[in-house]
Amino acid sequence: MSCFCLSEISLCIVCPVTSLKTDTDRELSGVLQGTEESSTEEKGPEPGPNDGPGNQGRTREVEPRARSRPFSLRDCLLKYPLFFSNLLFTVLGLVVLALGLWGLINKESFAQEKIGQISTDPMLVFVMLGLVLSTLCLSGCVGALRENCCLLQVFSATVLLLVAAQVLAAIVAYSLQGQIEGYLRSGMLAAMVRYQDDLDLRFITDEIQIGLQCCGADNYRDWEVNMYYNCSAPGVLSCGVPATCCVDPLENGTVWNSQCGVGSQQLDEFSAQSVIFLGGCLGGMSRWIEQHTGLIGAVGIVLLGVQIITLFITTRLMDNIQCIKLQDNNI
């Protein structure tokens, strides 16, 4: 704005008015800007695409960004060996379980006339062993992979009970050696009674007699307990023994002679020793255990050590998981 002054008085009057007007404009501009900023803060941020009418007035929570835990050497030494070892034993347990079920189904053990004898079926041992092994190792496998402390606690508690049970069984077996021999004798005589009726018991008995080169429980005359090999039986097997008792059951090394033990119970020991094995399998088992005491002890210690190491790794892994959770909560 231009101003023409004709005198000093008018100049003195016009200039202060102009300066006052300029300061007033500056103060007014500052007040307007402050009003706009306060109105902006009261309105809040501009609504986004997901903010609808129903969401107005609500405080939006900022979701924490998930952090991925970096791969560490402790994971490599604890988590993955435990996972892969349990995965291997889970598969092994399922194989054993399938083998036991196949044996029971193949022999029709679930039939009405045979269901009463299923408790003495050897295949039931495979079923129970496979079920326990697969269930236990699966809990350890999933617990290690997902870092689930609940499953790992179940796994470690079960392994601890198994270790305690094995130690207790070893102590009882050592202190009751005489009674164990009586239990073995009763079990083998029961297997000989059902030799022709149960294929599994027949297979186990044959393998024992072939491997230990023995016949019967105490001697070859124990086969009288079998209704087919009893001397009062009317069949061709009367007063005989199975072919697995024979010294040389193969004729000319090629053909299996299933009748090589016929009539052997009627022979005296001097005549029978050239045809069949005279000694019983219980004595053979005792001699085998005495000869392999060191090997049996080493295998038992190794198995027990593996379970203790597994228990230690599981405990350390659970401590690691708990420590990481505490760190995450503190952050």
> Which of 190, 173, 179 has the alpha carbon at shortest distance from 120?
190
pLDDT 10s digits, 107-162 = 777 776 667 667 777 788 899 999 999 999 999 999 988 889 899 999 999 999 99
pLDDT (average), residues 188-197: 90
Token pair 């207790």 is found at 168
Weakest mean pLDDT among 113-127, 228-242, 300-314: 113-127
Q: Say what angle helices 293-330 and 149-175 make with each other, to 10 degrees.
A: 160
Choose between 311 and 39: higher pLDDT. 311
pLDDT tens, position by position, 47-95? 544 445 544 444 444 444 444 455 566 667 788 889 999 999 999 999 9
Full set of structural domains in the chain with CATH: 179-279 (1.10.1450)
**pLDDT for 297 beyond 60:** yes
Tell me which residue of 248, 242, 246 sits closest to 205, measured CA to CA: 242
Across all residues in the chain, what is the average pLDDT?
78
Residue 18 has pLDDT above 50, yes or no: no
pLDDT confidence of residue 277: 92
| Predicted pLDDT at 10 | 39
Instruction: Note the pLDDT tens digit of each residue in 254-272.
Output: 777 888 888 888 888 888 8
Sign of CA dihedral 139, 143, 149, 150: negative
Give the residue-averaged pLDDT of 283-288: 88
